[in-house]
Amino acid sequence: MRLVTVAPALPANFYWNRTVTQAETSAPNAGFMARHYFLLRRLHSLSGIVPIGLFLINHLLTNSSAAWGILASRESEHSGSWAMRGFEYFWKEVRWINTQVPNLILIEVALWGAIAFHSILGFYYAATGSVNTDRYAYQGNWRYRLQRISGYLGILFIFYHVATLRWGWTFLVPGGTQWSQDFAASTLAMVLRGGSSGITFAGLAVSLAYFLGVTLLVFHFANGLWTAAITWGITISANSQRRFGYACFGLGAAMMLMGWISIFTFLVADPAKVREVETRLGSPRAVAVQAGDK
């Protein structure tokens, strides 16, 4: 009976959650998951990259602009102090996303559909697989285990993040802060600080949760990107897998840096001063200027 593997040249120390035979996929009594195993595997990996992974990159890039935004805009666009110019750029980016991006609701529906598909199928693969790190403590086996753990905890973090900052579940936020797109920077700072007066212990706990959540999601994406290339037969040899692994590591490190910088920038920001900048930028005259009106 011939064995069909996803990656013929996959290193022996990497532990796949199961081996599928040609007979299993073509047997008359095979279930839906067995018959479409290879197609579902590819769609699962693809959904983790497009649109979920691309959105994650863009989301981290936008949030971290509060720190580096001063470098991306022209001097004539700034009207506040040097310390506040990054928040000006971030405010303009958030406003553009929420007012100028066409069919935003359709993008969100597609994103949530991909997250649901990826997470449900991921839970299935994790539940039907097994881990052998207790017997074979190879690096690849540990990445497999961390991939599952980061998936479990990552979906919980996504739910908390969206529920508190999108759906307005303020009872889960220290101080009861409700995020607002008109005051995106100051309200996000209040969420991570635990209020507007200063950094509280509860605020630090939320910031730590964001730090861990972002780290897990980035690892899940970067490691999943590496395995996706194997699943799709892009990296066949051990050398190609190793080289692409370096690229995935570099991308993951850059994304983690953006996420960590974002959290730290909003944590140490003064919500009152940031609110002044947002109020000035959100005035009818400022909004007209940003839109190109005279």
As a whole number, mean pLDDT of residues 21-29 equals: 57
- Please state which architecture CATH assigns to domain 52-290: Up-down Bundle (1.20)
As a whole number, mean pLDDT of residues 136-144 equals: 72
Q: What's the rounded Cα separation, in Å, for the pair 108 and 173?
A: 23
Say what percent of the chain tops pLDDT 90: 69
Phi, psi of 273 (to 5 degrees): -70, -40
**Residue 10, both tokens:** 């996959």
> Which of 37, 36, 32, 1 minimizes the C-alpha distance to 18?
37
pLDDT band for position 80 (50/70/90)? low
Residues in the chain: 294
More confident call, 26 vs 217: 217
Q: What is the pLDDT of residues 166-215, one digit of tens each?
A: 999 999 999 999 999 999 999 999 999 999 989 999 999 999 999 999 99
* Positive or negative torsion for Cα 33, 34, 35, 40: positive
pLDDT score for 163:
97
Neighbouring C-alpha atoms within 13 Å toward the C-beta of 77: 19
Question: Please, which residues have CB within 8 angstroms of residue 191's CB and are 6 or more apart in sequence?
Answer: 164, 165, 173, 174, 177, 179, 203, 206
pLDDT score for 291:
56
Query: Average model confidence (pLDDT) for the chain?
Result: 85
pLDDT tops 60 at residue 264: yes
As a whole number, mean pLDDT of residues 109-138 equals: 82
pLDDT band for position 6 (50/70/90)? very low
Q: Assess contact for 25 and 151: CB atoms under 8 A.
A: no
pLDDT tops 60 at residue 246: yes
pLDDT score for 266:
97
Q: Assess contact for 236 and 11: CB atoms under 8 A.
A: no
pLDDT score for 133:
52
Q: Where are the domains of the chain?
A: 52-290
Looking at residue 190, its amino acid is M
pLDDT band for position 4 (50/70/90)? very low
pLDDT score for 86:
93
